[in-house]
Amino acid sequence: MSGEQGGTLNLGVIDSTITDPMLPITDAIGQFSDLFPLVHLNLQIKNPNALLHGILNNELDIAVGTFSLQGNSVVSHPLYREQHWLYCSDQHELYAMRHPTVAHISQMRMVTRSYWSAADLGKKGFKQSVASVESMEAQLMLILSGKYIGYLPEHYALPWVQQQRLRALLPTDYGYQAPFSLIFRRGRSKEILIRTLRDLLRSASKSWKTKR
């Protein structure tokens, strides 16, 4: 019986998903806890590389995030795509500029994610960066300082956009969608805790997209 199932489930999630309506992860966790009240849930917030490493080394049972390289040892279930835009703050010189150009923007001081490769940065319109971060919160801090521009998820930046503290720069030129997926180690799909949380997360994401 599920209610009698004990043990520990190690769940890893990329940061800043709490504001993402595309992934109602709290709903899935609530349903999982109702089904398995005796299971100890260990929730960890990590960057994509650390999440993948945790899955490959069985330190994590299931993880949610955006992963570029996964390998044959990992099972991946696509969930949705997260929209990112390039932002500057109201303290930055670009904020009041009516028509900034790509040439102008590409010369600005850019903050990148520590887990992005040079190729990733190039795909997003920049040759180099002058700062790096591990989390979206750290990225937001540097952008709000007025000395850097950088990418943020649309849902995470929204409160500051509404307060006119952030501005998206040339959305037609700068923007990308990060594919989110759910991953776990191959050969573990029959384990009841992994299988149940997998199904709850997929159902929650699908249900939200149906309501749109």
Above 90 in pLDDT, residue 111?
yes
Chain position carrying tokens 């670009």: 94
Q: What is residue 71's predicted lDDT score, i.e. its pLDDT?
A: 76
pLDDT, position 118: 87
Considering only residues 125 and 171, tell me which one the structure prediction assigns the higher pLDDT: 171
Q: Which pLDDT does position 209 carry in this prediction? A: 53
- In the chain, what percentage of residues exceed pLDDT 90? 80
Q: Residue 47 pLDDT more than 90?
A: yes
Residues 19-29 pLDDT 10s: 998 888 999 99
- Give the pLDDT of residue 198: 95
Q: What pLDDT digit, counting tens, does each position of 50-80 carry?
A: 999 999 999 999 999 999 776 789 999 999 9
pTM (two decimals): 0.89
Which long-range CB contacts under 8 A does 200-206 form with residues at least 24 apart? 200/28, 200/31, 200/32, 201/23, 201/25, 201/28, 201/64, 201/79, 202/77, 202/79, 203/28, 204/23, 204/24, 204/25, 204/27, 204/28, 205/22, 205/23, 205/24, 205/79, 205/80
| Burial tier of 34 (Cβ tally within 10 Å: 0-12, 13-18, 19+) | exposed
Q: What integer pLDDT is reported at residue 3 of this predicted model?
A: 62
φ/ψ region of 26 (left if φ > 0, alpha if ψ in -120 to 50, else beta) reads: alpha
Return the amino acid letter for 207: S
Q: Which residue has the higher pLDDT, 210 or 124?
A: 124
C-alpha span between 25 and 39 (Å, rounded): 17
Contact 170, 149 (CB under 8 A): no
- Residue 5 DSSP code: -
| 192 has a pLDDT exceeding 70 | yes
* pLDDT for the residue 207: 53
pLDDT at 68: 79
The overall average pLDDT reported for the chain is 92
Low-confidence winner among 3-17, 26-40, 130-144, 148-162 (lowest mean pLDDT): 3-17
User: Domains along the chain?
Assistant: 2-80+178-211 (3.40.190.10), 83-177 (3.40.190.10)
